[in-house]
Each structure stands twice: as structure tokens, then as C-alpha cells.
Structure 1
Amino acid sequence: MERLPRWADVALVPLVSLTLAFTIAALIILAIGQDPWEAITVMVQGTVMDAYGWGYTLYYATSFMFTGLAVCVAFHAAMFNIGGEGQALLGGLGVALVCLFIPWPHWSLALLAATLSAAAFGAIWAAIPAYLQAKRGSHIVITTIMFNYIAASLLQYLLVNTLKPVGQSDPASANFPDATHLPALNDIPLVNLFFTKPVPANITLFIALGMAVAVWVLLWHTRLGYQIRAFGKSEPAARYAGINPTRIIMIVMILSGALAGMMAVNNVMGEAERLLGNSASGAGFIGIAVALMGRNHPLGVVLAALLFGFLFQGGAELGLWTKIPIEMRIVVQGLVILFTGALDVMVRMLLGRIFAAFRARAEGAA
């Protein structure tokens, strides 16, 4: 297969994949008797053409940044963490315990404690499959998938039997105290000049962006990051160089789980302000697509998270203002995942042939 230039690999391959995904989505919309142009117009107007839409787009994107970064870190060590959903659920439990049972004088202290607690719960939940792989040879994909179901069941049990207030039928915790209320973007000075209406996007967005920078520094500017990437490229070579596989597996999965757990700060503490059974809302799985589309680079993850935030908010707008079913956003997400993940090689082969043809023509002309 023809090797693509760096710029084409980074920018052109995702762009072509997105174009193919949206083209097929447009054909599907046509097939159900709706107007694709109306669909894209409604999605754009409801997501990026006004501050209110941006507020929801950034809210969804914040969650996807955390889970995308979680997958990204694990991927560089050649591990596929499919357990972001469960780790985010347990992270939500950590947030709820801190917010409900410790009296906080100010939201800033509550935010710091909740972030650390969410990271700790997510890390602990990820450490168990990591240990099983490092010491017992269990496959990380299988164990992390199964731990998603265990986490969901455990959380439901705790909500129904322990955290649910007396007399409440809804399996959810009590509302968090007012002191733990996080500032939304419309509450932050200067930022509120743009976000003039209440929006769900909150200060957690800046934590997510900070984590993206931290992951970039870790992976490409530290000794540990070099060891992680070396281990991911070739475990036998890493062993020969003196890198301890058990140590790398445990550290990487703990970091990955911590990032996934921190997602809960955004939706549990920042938006719902109580713990719900479905608090992760599928963001753990979407993080896989975000990492794949972002080429497992923190900057790419941030951009891909914004795209999926656009799809989530745009899908809601479709269901509200058109006859196109809201489930169409799931179809579009699936197509994006299909072309950026499963069919990535096909796109590369197509572009490789095009580049080879242009190169041959240029050499012939010379």
C-alpha cells in the first residue's frame, strides 16, 4: 500500500472518511423521504450558529474528551480499554459520595475533591482488569467489557438500597447541596458575554482541556510516556530494554480508568447535580470512536469530541424540529465509526492509489 504523506494521514484520511459517512447518511435520509439539506441546516443552526447550541455541544464534547483520552492512553500501550462506561459509572459514585456526605464551604473545594474521588474510583475499577491481564493473562478487552455490566449492576444496587432517599421512587441519589453547584459557562466572567443564557456546559470543560494537555506531555515529553509507547510498539523489545510489562500495564490502565472516571464530574456534578443509574449515557463507548477518529492524539481527541458533541446536539435538534427520527444521530455515529475505524484501511488504500497516480504522472512529465 502506498505510504501517505504525513499531512494526508492526519487530515485528509479523516476528512474523506467523514465525507463518505455523511454522504451515506444523506442517502439514508433521502430513502426515508426526508430532505438531507434540511437535516444538515437544522443540525448546524442548532449546534454552532448560536450560543445556546454551543452550550450543549460543548457539554457533550466535554464528556467525550475524557473518555476519548482514556482510550488514547491505553491504546499507546497496545491495550484496548472498552471499560470506560463502567469506569465512568463508578467515577460518578465517587463524585456522589464526596458531594453528599462532606459539607463543603465552596464549590471550588468540592470540585477538587470530586475530581480526585472520581479519578480514584475509575482508576480502582480499571486496575482490576489490568491486574488480571498482567498477572493472569486475561484479555483486557473481555474483562473491561464485563466490568461495565458489573459496574452498572453495582451502581443500581447502591442507588436502590443505600443512596436513594426515603420515600423516593426514582432510583437516584438525593440532590447535591447548593455549595457544590459548579459554575456553568454563562456564570463565568467574560465567557458569559457569549453565553448569555443558562447552558449545561460548565467549568469541567477546562479540566478536560487541561487533561488533554497533560496526556500530550505525558506521552511525548516524559520518560514514562516513552516507555508506554515503546511497550505498545513491541512488548518483546520493551522487555529486552528493561521495561517492566506489569508496571506499564498497571500504570496505563490506572491512568485510563482515572480519565474515564473524571467524566462523571461533568454530568453528575455539573449538570444533573445528583447520581443517576445511567449517568454515563454511553459516553464510555463513544470515547472509543473519538479516540479512533482523533488518531489517538490528544489534539485529535479534542477535535473528534467536538464533532461527536455536534452529532449529539444536532440529533436532538433533528428530533425536535423535523420529522427525521432522533435515532438518525445513532446511524450517523455508526457510519462515522465504520469509516474511521473498520474501513480506515479502505480509505487509505484509495488515497494511496490516487497519490501514486499523481506521483507517476509527475515523474512521467519530468
Structure 2
Amino acid sequence: MSNPYAKLPAWAEYGLIPLVNLVVAFLVAGLVVLLVGENPLKAAYHMINGAFGRGEYIGFTLYYATTFIFTGLSVAVAFHAGLFNIGSEGQAYIGGIGVALACLWLDRTMPWFVVFPVAIIGSAAFGALWAFLPGWLQAKRGSHIVITTIMFNFIASSIMVYLLTKVMKPLGSMATQTRTFEAGGQLPKLDWLLAIFGLNVGNAPFNVSFLLALLAAFGVWVLIWRTRFGYELRTMGHSPSAARYAGISETRITIIVMMISGGLAGMMALNPIMGEQFRMQLDFVQGAGFVGIAVALMGRSHPAGIIPAAILFGMLYQGGAEIAFEMPSISRDMIVIIQGLVILFAGALENMFRPAIGRAFAAIGSRSAAAAQTRGA
């Protein structure tokens, strides 16, 4: 999307500004911890230790990060085309239907490495289809993408309730979920990956969908920065008038970008459904679509930034649970406040410190230029 601020070096744009935002967010969070009478340094220790202190904790952190990589990429692709897709939550719900159908169909007759590609296609196709409708409404009818994607989140949630209470629930069961998948519908853990570093994944549901998430991140980088279509979508995001002048079809770009975005969000369902629960439950998304917005903003809509941002939010989820256990006076609601502060400074206030940083870089550049001119004289 277009940027009204002065251009900064890449390391400042993708590293310094997110780091400053993150530090300020944690400082404010520390004040919140102080207000409840606890030591913020102790809370920080429990959060970091709870996220990275043992192999099992790291496994849980990376499990959450896998989900956020998919949703962060989903939001980022739309961002680059100037579209604000707030519908990743609903697209992930609908993508879960594609995963569940693939597993229910093949899990008893096929091994996981056959079911997995079918589930990938199903999740991406269902998520893309759900995102196609808001994209078409934006491109053809002028309906605002933010409004339609928000509305489609509620529709997706209602569809999920109907399917899990009327259609996909096993006979005689009261739980709002499908039957448990057999071995063919269960993804293997990546215990061997952590074992390389001498770590034991334990009960953590860290699974092969993490590798798929990394592959998706690489694919998004190739798409946006190494293809003609990526150049066109970035042109439209930066200047729609310039895109129209160049003969780029806004309708085509809008619809295709939304379908790609929805497909990425739909693939998020692979991680909880096949990697942890081994069934489709009612609330398997758990707000990951909205967290993806903050992940994309903090990662500057670049895959290289989205991956560490997703790991950060994985740390907040896993480490936050440890804080709530070790420090009972800090409730789970307080952890949500801390997560919200990070989202606030990384998202809504992402450019809060940019003017000051820009002025500092301009001053340094002016002094350097003056010094070089003096030496030349």
C-alpha cells in the first residue's frame, strides 16, 4: 500500500521500526503488570521461559506461529494490492470444511502423505471461494472490502455451527465436532526437527504444516516480488490511477488477489484440524484471522518479517499461559491485555515513531553530506 512517509533504509523499515514498537508495547505492558502489584521482570522471565525454556514449550510456540504465518501471509497479500482483508477468520473457517471433507473421505483408506495434499487443495479452494465473493463484490459492485469481509466472517461462523450440529456431527454425539480422524487424517509431528538441537517436543502438536507455512511464505515472496502479476498488484496497491493508466485490470487483480488471500487463510485450518485436534471442532480458528492482521503489520507485509512476527505472537500465546500459571494474580484477561498492547503498537500505531526516526536519519544524512563536502573542499 502507498506510504506517505519518507523512505527509510530496509533495515530500519523492516527491523528498527517494528523493534521500537515492540519495546514500547512491552514497556507499557510492564506498567500494567506493576498496577496489579507484580514484578514485570519476573513476568517477562516466565513468558520467555514458558515459550522457549524447554523443547515442549518451543513446540507449542512454533505450533501457534504456524497458524499465524498463514493468516499473516493472507492479510499481507491483500495489503500489497491496497485491499484490507479482515475476512481471514471466516476464510479459515470455510477452509476447515475442505480439510475435514478430505480427511473424512480418505483417512481410513489412505496414508497421511496422500491425504495431506488433498486437504491442502481442499482448504485452499474453499478459502479462496469464500474470499472470491467479497472480491467480486468489490470489483464489480463497488462494495467496500472491509465491510463485506467482516460480514462474511459472521456468515462463515453460522455455516460452521449449522454443519457441526446438523450435518457433520456423528450420530448419537452431543459434541459440536466431526468424528476423530484415523491415522490417515493425522499429521506427524516434527519431533525430529527439534531433536537435531537436542530438544524433546513432548506433547506439543508441532507438525509438518509448519514446513508448509515456510513454503507458502517463500511462494508469496516469489509471487509478489518476482512475477509480473506481483508487479501489477503492487502497482495497484501503490497507485490505482497509475495502474489504470498502465492498462492493468483492477477487476482482475482484485478478484485474484482476494482468492489467493483466502486460499492462504484456508490453509491455516490444516494446522489445528490435522495437526492437533484430529477432528474439526466448532471454534478451531480461535481468532487467528484477526491476529494475522497484526502479524502482517508488524512484519511489514513481507514474508521475511511475517515469520518472526508470527513466532513473537506464538511466544505471547504460549508464554502468556505460563505467566497465568506461575503468577495467579495475573489472570488470563491480563495476558490478553498484553497481547492487545502489542497489536496496538504494532498495528494501529505502527507509524507512531516513524516521523522521529525519519528526522533522525535525515539529520544524520545531512551531517554526513556536509562532512563529505568539507573534505572535498
Could you tell me the TM-score, scaled by structure 2's length? 0.93
Letter matched to residue 106 of structure 1 = P
Following TM superposition, by how much is the alpha carbon of 1:337 offset from its aligned partner in structure 2, in angstroms?
A: 1.8
Q: Is the 8 A contact 2:179 2:279 kept in 1?
A: yes
Report the counterpart of residue 248 of structure 2 in structure 1: 243
Per the alignment, in what secondary structure is the counterpart of residue 197 of structure 1? coil
**Cα distance in 2 for residues equivalent to 1:76 and 1:203:** 28
Matched residue, 2:163:
158
Mark the CA change 1:270 to 1:191 in structure 2 (over 3 Å): closer, same or farther. farther
Partners in 1 of 2:359 and 2:6 — Cα distance? 7
> Structure 1 residues 217, 362: closer, same or farther in 2, change over 3 A?
closer
1:224 is aligned to: 229
Which residue matches 1:309?
A: 314
The residue aligned with 1:135 is: 140
Q: Residues of 1 paired with 2:58 and 2:75: CA distance?
A: 25
The question of 1:24 aligning with 2:21 is answered no
What pairs up with 1:43-122 in 2 under 5 angstroms? 43-102=47-106, 103-122=108-127
C-alpha offsets along residues 73-129 of structure 1, whole Å, 9 cap, x if unaligned?
A: 111100011000000011111111111123442100111111110001100000000
Contact 2:135/2:145 (<8 A) preserved: yes
Which amino acid in 2 is paired with 1:243?
I
CA drift at 1:179? 2.1
**Structure 1 counterpart of 2:336:** 330
Do structure 1's residue 234 and structure 2's residue 239 form an aligned pair? yes
Supply the AA of the counterpart residue of 1:318: I
> In 2 relative to 1, CA 267–192 (structure 1 residues): closer, same or farther, beyond 3 Å?
farther
Would the alpha carbon gap of residues 217 and 2 (structure 1) be closer, same or farther in structure 2, given more than 3 Å must change?
Answer: closer
Residue 110 and residue 192 in structure 1: after superposition, are their counterparts in 2 closer, same or farther (change >3 A)?
farther
Structure 1 pair 359–223 and aligned structure 2 pair: CA distance change class (3 A): closer
Q: 1:277 to 1:333 in 2, by over 3 A?
A: same
1:346 aligned residue = 352
1:13 paired to 2:8: no
Given that 2:54 and 2:199 are in contact with CA atoms closer than 8 Å, whether structure 1 keeps it comes out as no
Say which of 279, 291, 295 aligns to 2:300.
295
Q: Which moved more, 1:234-243 or 1:304-313?
A: 234-243
Q: 1:3 to 1:67 in 2, by over 3 A?
A: closer
Contact 1:80 1:140 in 2 (8 A): yes
In 2, Cα distance between equivalents of 1:226 and 1:2: 21
The 1:26–1:208 alpha-carbon spacing in structure 2 relative to 1, beyond 3 Å, is same
Q: Which runs of 5+ in 2 are unaligned?
A: none
Q: 1:99 to 1:41 in 2, by over 3 A?
A: same
Establish whether residue 282 from structure 1 lines up as the match of residue 287 from structure 2: yes
Supply the distance in 2 between the matched residues of 1:235 and 1:363 (Cα, whole angstroms): 36
Distance in 2, Cα, partners of 1:42 & 1:299 = 27
1:185-200 alignment, distance < 5 Å = 185-186=190-191, 191=196, 193-200=198-205
| Residue range with higher mean Cα deviation, 321-330 or 64-73 | 321-330
Find out whether 1:38 has 2:50 as its counterpart: no
Instruction: Please report how far the alpha carbon of residue 358 of structure 1 lies from its aligned counterpart in structure 2 after TM superposition.
Output: 4.6
- Residues 17-46 of structure 1 show CA distances to partners (whole Å, capped at 9, x for unaligned) of 011000000001001111111111111111
Q: Which moved more, 1:352-361 or 1:253-262?
A: 352-361
Work out the number of aligned pairs and report it. Answer: 366
Whole-Å Cα distance in 2 between the matches of residues 342 and 189 of structure 1?
35
Q: In structure 2, what is the Cα distance between the partners aligned to 1:360 and 1:245?
A: 41
Shift in Å at residue 158 of structure 1? 0.7
In percent, how many aligned pairs have the same letter? 50
SS in 2 for 1:97: helix
2:268 aligned residue (236, 244, 263):
263
Residues 282-328 of structure 1 show CA distances to partners (whole Å, capped at 9, x for unaligned) of 00000000000000001111110000000010111111121211222
The aligned residue for residue 4 of structure 1 is: 8
Q: For the residues of structure 2 that align with 1:344 and 1:99, how far apart are their CA atoms?
A: 41
Q: Are 2:59 and 2:201, in contact at CA under 8 Å, matched by a contact in 1?
A: no
> Deviation per CA, 1:225-248, whole angstroms, max 9, x where unpaired?
111111111122112212111111
CA distance in 1, matches of 2:33, 2:362: 35
- Provide the rounded CA distance (Å) in 2 between the counterparts of 1:167 and 1:98: 23
- Please say if residues 55 and 194 of structure 2, whose CA atoms lie closer than 8 Å, have aligned partners that are also in contact: no
Scaled by the length of structure 1, what TM-score is found? 0.95
SS in 2 for 1:344: coil
Unaligned runs of 5+ in 1: none
